[in-house]
Structure 1
Amino acid sequence: MTSNYWVSTQCNHWILNQTQLAIARAEDLHYAANPEEYTALRIWLINCICLLTKRLSLRQRITATSIVFFHRFYSCSPANSFSSTDPSLVATACVYVASKVEETPVHIRNVVQEASKLWAELGHWKFPNDVSSLAEMEFYLLEDLQFHLIVYHPYRSLMAIHSSSGKGATKFDLKMTASPTWTSLIGAAQNASATSNASGSGQGPVGSGDLGGPSGLIDPELAYGSPGSGLSGKSADSAKAPMNGDAEKIRQLDRQSQIRMAWFVLNDTYRTDVLLLYPPHLVAVAAIFLAFVLHDPTRERLMRSKRIMDDRRERYKTSMLHPRESKNKSATLAKTQEMSASNPPVPPPDAMTFLAALNVDLGAVGEIVQEMLGLYDIWHKVGNNAGNGPEMFRRLTKMRERRREDLLKNGAGM
């Protein structure tokens, strides 16, 4: 176990490239009806992991680690595939192992009991409800993970970057802004729409937003580490900025909205391959960027700041190309142009300037942003199917049948 990401097994063994992922997914993409069907299966299975951890009353850290284990199992070499394994058993084993790794173990009988109920409700009546099957799958999972069980999540990087900008949230703030579920960005929008359409019905929205454990949307332990590390107790309370007047209250609420939006985006990254392709701090930077773009007040401020900066650059360019024109101006304007000519315009101290000044690979950040935008596009296309358990199992069964037919043909040919 190491506290340094750069010497960890995640950095040195589990940061893959697109070619490796393409090889690992080749079999499933061959037997799936189309790439969208395979993506819908992945999204649905991740949602099922979140539902299982919620039923077991596990924290968000365990949910996140379970999903990473699940992605690694289906990306290792030699590759595993949905069509050659039982993804429901693999997902259950990932939750069971993650609970041990994160030091919140659950008895194997409780895991099997809750998993059997969940998968039966989703249309999988043949899920093995004996303890021995899960115990055996645990060892297969550990072997394929090469016993690399320490996972670095981007949530802590998100909090560190947000704090270093001077607008950070403490553990106290996070607890005060917590939500009862691990919500995705799309799930939050769906839940808001469903709540407004079904107000007074007594039924809450059900969908991709209902994903997480009881610990809340923002888990302070996941963001700051285990108790005793980072801010805690009185130091956390003292780090909370005092609120002076209504203006400060509005700014504080705005900052909380930004961090919630970024947290939503990070939740959604666990449905993609970005955690297998990029270091967690780059994923956190991309989430912050998307939050700034998707958060309306922040986006408006950034666009206004950009227009002001463009105007300053244009005036500076003019003063450099035509310095003599200043003689025909008033004395005040001439002095202003003289100062602008000697001092190029400095970018304003806004969010984009802060992100641009970070010592990170902005090209990789752009790739992560594109990956997330691609996810949201596909998610909207397959949204209904990704929430239909029996339909997903029917498609999974067809993939297995196609693979079985190919194996029989190849065996007969020999």
Structure 2
Amino acid sequence: MARSFWRSSNYLEWLLDRQDVMIHRANDLKILGSEEEYQKVMLFFTDVIQAFGKSVEVRQQVIATALVYFKRFYSRNSFKTIDPWLMAPSCLFLASKVEEFGVVSQKNLMTSCRNVVHSHYLIYFPDGYGYPYRAQDVLECEFILLEAMDCSLVVFHPYRPLVQFCDELRPQMHEYADVLLERAWWLVNDSFRTDVCLHYPPYIIALGCLQLAVVIISSNPDLLIGSVNISSSSFMNSSLSISSNKHGYFGHQTQSTVNPSLVADRWFSELNVDMERVLEISRHLLSLYDLWRRFDELAEMPNILLKKLPRPVIQSPHTSQNYQSGNSVNPTGCNSTSATQSSNLSSGTQQQTHGGSMVVPSGTGAVGTGSSSGATGTVGSIHNMPDHQTQQQQRSMTSSSQPRMHPQGGGMQHMGVR
């Protein structure tokens, strides 16, 4: 990982302009109808990634990196490119490697995805097959994700600067310090449900969350009283605390002598930052909470995901017959022209080869044969070749011309790529 944020790909390549993001988002907005509907879809799949991450028991930083990857991909691609249901575990799988958490077992990941979908999201798979993707699909999608991000995998999160800012405020905040860090940390987690990770550096996001946390604490003094009562409950039950209470040592603990708003205003005034950008973070979070309050997932998301948003054709779970069938589908979603040409080439080679002899059709240039003498053949000549050399030649010609195919049968469209 880069030591400096200012030299990392996070700053140099992935602080995007909002107008550019909206240009790439135009097709999805036409389908969904509005920016609010788009944000509801992103909010929904943020919850999906969070549920997948909790199921495989990864750290919060791994989930945060996966959310950033998810937003990066769809900031330059439409939902029609890759099914978000496939991109979600792919981002989580890649993030576990980048954050050095340890490679998540593919079997455990897919089992967790199926269990989470069966428990909470089965309504979005009306075909009855449940979660349709396999580990091979996630591995292929991982390479597509790497290509889309140009292998720029370094992500700087607001957590570290937030802890540093709270440490600076601790001597002045006194009893508010721990509550402030806790509330600001929750706000940072919620910030990944917005687009701020695409437009602002992490220290600006941390400052915006810190400012909003100060407002929350100032308007809800009961938060401090509850934390003080919890922290001192063990002492209050002891004889030492009882005797101390008689002398009034705990009598004024719940009465704060610090005004967090004044301390924060003084501290923010000494910073050399653009406060307008800090306020933009707060506005993004307030807009998120307003949308969250009006968002009815069970009532709205089935209509959006099943009717508005294009979905690939879901096929039945793979069986041994699927793998034995000769038909296969290109996982990249490209048209099957190259596959048809390669099959024609293979069939043409078989027609030309008979009884251990290869026929070089007329009208072509001189062709080298597979004979041990190394002599070159002329146009229209027939060269006798051993059977094993003929078979090797056919396999090499077929494998060199035919692209790598996906082991799915029936000639159906791939589930993840549309």
Greater C-alpha Rg: 2
Report if the CA contact (8 A) 1:116-1:127 is conserved.
yes
Paired with 1:299 and 1:11, the residues of 2 have a C-alpha distance of 38
| Counterpart in the other structure of 1:282 | 204
Q: Which residue of 2 aligns with 1:183?
A: none
CA distance in 2, matches of 1:120, 1:365: 41
Following superposition of structure 1 onto structure 2, how do residues 64-83 of structure 1 map, counting pairs within 5 Å? 64-75=64-75, 79-83=76-80
User: Which secondary structure does the structure 2 equivalent of 1:263 belong to?
Assistant: helix
Q: 3-state DSSP class of the match of 2:25?
A: helix
Deviation at 1:159, TM superposition (A): 0.6
Give the partner amino acid of 2:267: F
Following superposition, the deviation at residue 85 of structure 1 comes to: 2.4
Q: 1:270 aligns with which of 192, 195, 214?
A: 192
Q: State the 1:349 CA deviation.
A: 6.9
1:380 to 288, 293, 296: 293
> Which segment drifts farther, 390-399 or 110-119?
390-399
Question: Does structure 2 conserve the Cα–Cα contact (< 8 Å) formed by 1:49 and 1:95?
Answer: yes
Tell me if the contact between 2:83 and 2:311 (Cα under 8 Å) persists in the aligned partners: no
Bigger drift between 365-374 and 13-22 goes to 365-374
Alpha-carbon distance change, 69 to 167 in structure 1, aligned in 2, over 3 angstroms: farther
TM-score, normalised by the number of residues in structure 2: 0.60
Q: 2: CA distance between counterparts of 1:55 and 1:166?
A: 35
Q: Structure 2 matches for 1:36-115, cutoff 5 A?
A: 36-75=36-75, 79-104=76-101, 105-115=103-113
Equivalent residue for 2:387?
Answer: none
| Equivalence for 1:34 | 34
- Partner residue in 1 for 2:249: none
Q: Is the 8 A contact 2:196 2:205 kept in 1?
A: yes
Whole-Å Cα distance in 2 between the matches of residues 268 and 397 of structure 1? Answer: 26
Q: What residue ranges of structure 2 are gaps of 5+ in the alignment?
A: 223-260, 314-418
Instruction: Output aligned runs, 1:134-145, within 5 Å.
Output: 134-145=138-149
Q: Rate the CA distance shift 1:116–1:391 in 2: closer, same or farther, 3 A.
A: farther
Contact 1:52–1:115 (8 Å) recurs in 2: yes
Letter in 1 for 2:210: I
1:261-410 map, 5 Å: 261-296=183-218, 350-382=263-295, 384-385=296-297, 388=298, 392-401=301-310
State the shift of 1:161 in Å.
Answer: 1.1
Counterpart residue identity of residue 72, structure 2: R
Q: Deviations over 1:173-216 (max 9, x none)?
A: xxxxxxxxxxxxxxxxxxxxxxxxxxxxxxxxxxxxxxxxxxxx
CA distance in 2, matches of 1:255, 1:131: 45
Q: Give the helix-richer structure, 1 or 2.
A: 1
Query: How many residues matched?
Result: 268
Higher relative contact order (CA 8 A, sep 6+): 1
Alignment partners' CA distance in 1, 2:300 and 2:170 = 48
Matched residue type, 2:51: L
CA distances 1:367-412 after superposition (whole Å, capped 9, x unpaired)? 2211111111111111x22xx3x952441232245999xxxxxxxx
Distance 1:54 1:138 in 2: 20
Which amino acid in the other structure matches residue 296 of structure 1? S
- SS of alignment partner, residue 205 of structure 2: helix
Q: What residue in structure 2 maps to residue 199 of structure 1?
A: none
**Contact 2:162/2:207 (<8 A) preserved:** yes
CA distance 1:380–1:349, change in 2 (3 Å):
closer
Change (3 A) 1:381 1:275: same
Q: How does 1:7-22 map to 2 (within 5 A)?
A: 7-22=7-22
Letter matched to residue 8 of structure 1: S
Q: Alpha-carbon deviation of 1:119?
A: 2.3
C-alpha distance in structure 1 between counterparts of 2:14 and 2:305, whole Å: 27
Indicate the SS of the match to 1:295: helix
**Distance in 1 separating the partners of 2:150 and 2:40:** 28
Give the unaligned 5+ runs of structure 1. 169-247, 301-347, 405-414
Residue equivalent to 2:137:
133
Maintained 8 Å contact 1:55/1:114: yes
Q: Report the Cα distance in structure 1 between the residues aligned to 2:311 and 2:85, rounded to whole angstroms.
A: 19
Cross-structure match for 1:163: 167
Structure 2 distance, partners of 1:91, 1:37, is: 19
- Residue type matched to 1:91 in 2? A
- Cα distance in 2, alignment partners of residues 32 and 3 from structure 1: 40
**Is the 2:117–2:131 Cα contact (8 Å) retained in structure 1?**
yes
Contact 1:88 1:119 in 2 (8 A): no
Matches within 5 A, 1:185-196: none
Q: Give the Cα–Cα distance (whole angstroms) in 1 for the partners of residues 57 and 8 of structure 2.
A: 29
In structure 1, distance between residues paired with 2:154 and 2:34: 34
Kept in 2: contact 1:28–1:38 (CA 8 A) = yes
**Alignment RMSD, CA only?**
2.5
Name the CA distance, whole Å, in 2 between partners of 1:108 and 1:74. Answer: 24
Q: Is the contact between residue 84 and residue 400 of structure 1 (CA under 8 Å) also seen in structure 2?
A: no
Equivalents in 2 of 1:276, 1:391: separation in Å?
A: 26
The runs of 4+ residues in structure 1 deviating greater than 6 Å are none
- 1:119 and 2:32 correspond: no
Can you list the C-alpha shifts for 1:4-47, whole angstroms capped at 9, x where unaligned? 00000000000001101111221111101433222211111001
- Distance, in Å, in 1 between the alignment partners of 2:148 and 2:38 is 22
Counterparts of 1:211-222 in structure 2, within 5 Å, are none
Q: Is the 8 A contact 2:73 2:148 kept in 1?
A: yes
Is the CA contact 2:86–2:133 (under 8 Å) kept in the aligned structure 1? no
Measured in 1, the distance between the counterparts of 2:310 and 2:203 equals 41
Superposed CA deviations along residues 208-237 of structure 1, whole A, max 9, x for unmatched, are xxxxxxxxxxxxxxxxxxxxxxxxxxxxxx
Residue of structure 2 aligned with 1:259, choices 174, 178, 181: 181
Q: Deviations over 1:296-338 (max 9, x none)?
A: 36889xxxxxxxxxxxxxxxxxxxxxxxxxxxxxxxxxxxxxx
